[in-house]
Chain A
């Protein structure tokens, strides 16, 4: 066994070129730390990205990297994973890259359950093209392309994922080291497509758009960190919980000290509750929201293939076809 690597071993000598204060710096740190923690090997790791600020990621990770074209990273990563299922393939995308121009590929990667770890940096804005509203921007977002406020309804990454048949959906906050570490390790361990939505602060074009729940000083009351098999508690001293309201078919906050038995226990395999958790606005659900183990696409592809992609016959065995004749 090779020597254990540290986060520093996954950092490159490249100068990082995100804006000072960008949430991407914190994510990069969490990812290099997670790679070290899970015992990843640089030569067996590949980062594939599309276009956007987040897509610079491969240049900053000491591994194989492919900075591709807008929206297509999941398709390219699918081909790579099929060619070499032994690789750890990570896809780095954003709300524009993954949910607008490339949403078709994201949808199909999710429904196929290709073994990809997809990090969706959601900052609700197009950063690299200088601040236009994005498919996750809230209605009324003012931007250079929507000076009177945007009118389109945003897409919910979580609902998109579950609707597409995702088997793993999790959320993290860029600056939440502990939460990110947990989510990235779980995503890495999942056999199939793991989609992680990361709330990422764009300091230039959409500052503090997630401020209502990402601020550290009020985190206890605004963030619900989910753990499979544990009650959904949050607040100072876990004094609050989440319960199901059968009258409205939705989740609501309950005083956990008064009604501890009402508090739901998190079951990652429950897609109905997962959908309600995605919709929960305050607190915001974080961690692994949904996980349903299933056969990965590459496993299905190889086990279905007559020779597991090996060349077990020669072209000369096939070239004659069903019938042939000889001319003397």
Chain B
């Protein structure tokens, strides 16, 4: 790869052992990318083990970032630059690389032992396996240790600075300012002055290596066009950060405090960690003893007048199911966030999937409908969190918000919204004309079927709620057959009524009639968007999954074929068939990896070629 000013965007992949500090290095490079004014998207791809056996292929942790002029909506199909800290990282990443890619490898790690652990019989540096790539073999371990020698660290402590050394090289390649990273290191490692200084020194040493080393000729400097983003103030954001801010913003819009109750689970925990830092926004966090207690405490908090929110991933959501039914029956507001991951059972905890759609829409005992919404991008997690709270409070119902493992960790530039553009979140008024507070508590709004939110502590309104069936009008326990029929219909009508408050479904791009439309939901937005743009295909992306937008059926009727790419075995296809009677073509990918743009383009083109 030569110095090339014509490049629009470039994909960088950093890979090494899970103990090499890859995620930290990647996220700091992303922050620097954001500040440089490029558009970008990231994909942290790490193993389930915290410290998997060193040097093995399954212990490889990687961070991929696509940066450039944009619009960039995915972390990129094929890396242009690979930084491989060991043979295993090289082995795992090689098949993904673009032909001609620049491969920076840590020479020192290519020992016989490490080659064997990676499953290499021969050293790939010695034969033609790297012939398609430009290889820069640098003695990263040795050069780093020399750079930090003055600090008197042990060999292992000093060695841990090598991610900053390599980051320095990338910073030189992309002509970046080192100051923001130095500031971050100073703040983060304030309590450990020696480590702090060693890491900053390693960063500078890597940068100097790029500038002065004799290899500089092979190491290109890359200039990228500035991002074509709408004017405004931007920041870098992950889905977990955006969702945390969205929940806190919803609390402010509703003028209620938020109580977030959850139990640790991958990949949902980052939301808990983020929310613990938002206390001054009237947000409390409670780490419960299990998933069931987490949702139950959130229900208790909602009963007490705060916005109860819980979060988990598929297996944890399964445990919460009974309590969701209670919230439905008691008509209490609640938000349940599901960061979907590969399954079934423990499955692929750190890999992404969107296979809990059935669970969200259909997965409860009895006729227990719950509105389901989803977020398409990291930034959109903010908006959909507000939407989820708005629906929960208006209709007095639990709401499921589907996100996924990819969104939780993926960073992108996000235009900071103007909070005055969001309407306040309203709750239903208490109509106290009736002398029986039980009836007052269950007097519902005619349009939303939402009841007033009456919490203990309010005088003269003492009433009882619970999981038993209640009379449709009086709210008292009822075992009357006709009443149960009526209440079942009412619960369904309540969820259907959500559609009446939604904006009509729009096309993301493309003509509103034609031979083919691609329909997506969730984090597949990024790759689908690129694929439809390059093929000129119509594209509909859903944020509201249950109920579906009222005009969706009509929109879809304008097309001969409907293609639904999903990271599951065809769950949205089933839902569309069930609700709208259409027959979409499923394009399923369940490898734990997001779709590649090229895969989608291939599928779209094959359908366009096919006669209808």
Residues of A bordering B, CB below 8 Å: 42-46, 48, 58-59, 62-69, 72, 75-84, 86-87, 104-105, 107-108, 301, 305-307, 309-321, 323-328
Contact = CB atoms under 8 A, between A and B. Distances in A.
Contacts of A67: 464-468
Given A43-B462, A65-B464, A313-B280, A87 B286 contact: no
Contacts of A328: 231
A315 B389 CA distance: 16
B2 to A, nearest CB: 29
17 contacts: A64-B463, A65-B462, A65-B465, A66-B464, A75-B292, A79-B298, A79-B308, A82-B259, A82-B300, A84-B305, A105-B289, A105-B296, A310-B257, A311-B281, A323-B180, A326-B232, A326-B233
A306 B280 contact: yes
Nearest to B458: A43
A204 B182 CA distance: 75
Contacts of A66: 300, 303, 330, 464-466
Contacts of B302: 79, 83
A328 B37 CA distance: 11
A87 B456 contact: yes
A9 B165 CA distance: 74
A68 B467 contact: yes
Interface in B306-364: 306, 308, 322-323, 325-326, 330
A315 B462 contact: no
B464 A58 contact: yes
A44 B245 CA distance: 32
Given A69-B296, A84-B456, A311-B282, 19 more contacts: A43-B457, A43-B459, A64-B457, A66-B464, A68-B299, A69-B322, A69-B467, A72-B293, A75-B288, A82-B259, A83-B305, A104-B293, A107-B289, A314-B252, A318-B278, A321-B235, A324-B235, A326-B233, A327-B230
A321 B248 contact: no
- Residue with the highest number of chain B CB atoms closer than 10 Å, among A307, A320, A325: A325
Given A43-B460, A68-B466, A315 B455 contact: no
Interface in B225-239: 227, 229-237
Interface string B180-192: 1000000000000
B281 A79 contact: no
Contacts of A319: 245, 249, 416-417, 419
A305 to B, nearest CB: 5
A325 B282 contact: no
A43 B282 CA distance: 24
Given A320-B416, A327-B227, A79 B456 contact: no
A48 B300 contact: yes
B273 to A, nearest CB: 15
A120 B191 CA distance: 49
A69 B326 contact: yes
Nearest to B417: A319
A318 B299 contact: no
B477 A44 contact: no
Interface of B: 31, 34-35, 37, 180, 227, 229-237, 241, 245, 248-249, 251-252, 257, 259, 261, 278-282, 284, 286, 288-290, 292-293, 296-306, 308, 322-323, 325-326, 330, 416-417, 419, 455-468, 477
A87 B303 CA distance: 12
Contact of A325 (B37, B330, B457, B467): B37
Q: Would you list the 7 A-B pairs with minimal beta carbon distance, nearest first?
A: A79-B300, A83-B304, A67-B466, A79-B297, A311-B282, A75-B296, A64-B456
B38 to A, nearest CB: 10
Given A67-B467, A104-B290, A320-B235, A306 B279 contact: yes
Contacts, number: 209
A268 to B, nearest CB: 27
B304 A84 contact: yes
For the residues of A in contact with B, the DSSP-based class is: mixed
A324 B288 CA distance: 34
Contacts of A321: 235-237, 241
Contact of B300 (A63, A83, A323): A83
A107 B323 CA distance: 19
Nearest to B229: A327
A79 B280 contact: no
B18 to A, nearest CB: 25
A116 to B, nearest CB: 11
Contacts of B280: 306-307, 311-313, 317
A79 B296 contact: yes
A310 B35 CA distance: 34
A240 to B, nearest CB: 43
Contacts of B459: 43
Contacts of B461: 43
Contacts of A312: 280
Contacts of A315: 245, 248-249, 252, 281, 419
A317 B282 CA distance: 13
B416 A80 contact: no
Contacts of A86: 457
Contacts of A77: 300
Nearest to A308: B279
Contacts of A69: 296, 322-323, 325-326, 467
A42 B457 contact: no
A105 B288 CA distance: 9
A81 B300 CA distance: 8
A309 B282 contact: yes
Contact of B466 (A58, A62, A87): A58
Contacts of B249: 315, 319
Contacts of B281: 311, 313-315, 318
Contact of A82 (B229, B301, B456): B301
A320 B234 CA distance: 8
A78 B287 CA distance: 12
A65 B419 CA distance: 37
Contacts of B284: 82, 301, 305, 309
A143 to B, nearest CB: 25
Contacts of A82: 259, 284, 286, 297, 300-301, 304
A263 B234 CA distance: 76
Contacts of A325: 34-35, 37, 233-235
Given A66-B464, A311-B251, A59 B304 contact: no
Nearest to B261: A79
Nearest to B382: A319
Contacts of A75: 288-289, 292-293, 296-297, 300
A324 B236 CA distance: 7
Nearest to A324: B235
A68 B229 CA distance: 50
A128 to B, nearest CB: 12
Contact of B279 (A76, A78, A104, A307): A307
Nearest to B322: A69
A315 B463 CA distance: 35
B296 A83 contact: no
Nearest to B187: A322
B252 A311 contact: yes
Contacts of A327: 37, 227, 229-234
Contacts of A87: 304, 456-457
B554 to A, nearest CB: 37
B480 to A, nearest CB: 16
- Residue with the highest number of chain B CB atoms closer than 10 Å, among A42, A59, A79: A79
Contacts of B37: 325, 327
B245 A309 contact: no
A293 to B, nearest CB: 23
B328 to A, nearest CB: 12
A66 to B, nearest CB: 6
Contacts of A58: 464, 466
- Residue with the highest number of chain A CB atoms closer than 10 Å, among B302, B325, B467: B467
Contacts of A306: 279-280
A78 B462 contact: no
Nearest to A112: B289
- Residue with the highest number of chain A CB atoms closer than 10 Å, among B293, B322, B455: B293
